[in-house]
Amino acid sequence: MKCPICKHGETENGYATVVLERNKTTLVFKHVPADICNNCGEEFISESVSIELFSVAKQAVEAGVQVDVREYLAA
Ligand SMILES: [Zn+2]
C-alpha cells in the first residue's frame, strides 16, 4: 500500500522490532511482522498483531516484569 505518513513510499512486508513501555515495564518484541515503508521507514503493524502485543504487555505489567526481550511468535 502507499505509505500514509510520507505519501511517497510503498510499504513492503518485513519485520519490525517493537518497544512497548507501560509504567515500569519495558518490553521489546523482535521479528514482529510489519509493513515497512521503503521511503521513510515507518512501520505498520496489523491490528491483530498489536492486540496480541498489548495483551502480552498487560500480562508482563501484572507480573511485575521490568525489562524483557521476546521473539514475537504468531498465534
Ligand atoms: Zn513512508
In a domain, 40, yes or no: yes
Is residue 16's pLDDT more than 70? yes
Element (H, E) at 56: helix 47-63
CA of 1 to the centre of ligand 1 (A): 10
pTM of the model: 0.84
Domain hosting residue 43, numbered range: 11-70
The b-or-e profile of 31-59 (16+ CB within 10 A means b, else e) is: ebebbbbeeeebebbeeebeebbeebbee
Residue 2: inside a domain: no
Predicted local confidence at residue 73, as pLDDT: 73
Overall domain count for the chain: 1
Q: Would you state the pLDDT for residue 74?
A: 60
CATH number for the domain that contains residue 23: 3.10.20
Q: In this structure, are residues 39 and 9 in contact, taking their beta carbons and an 8 Å threshold?
A: yes
Tell me how crowded residue 3 is: count the other CB atoms within 10 A of its CB. Answer: 19
Q: Is 17 within a domain?
A: yes
Whether residue 4 lies inside any domain: the answer is no
Q: Are 29 and 21 in contact (CB under 8 A)?
A: no
**Cα 2 to ligand 1 centre (Å):** 8
Q: Does residue 3 form part of some domain?
A: no
How much distance in Å is there from the Cα of 11 to the middle of ligand 1? 7
pLDDT tens track for 20-75: 999 899 999 999 999 999 999 999 999 999 999 999 999 999 999 999 999 997 65
Q: For residue 1, is it within any domain? A: no
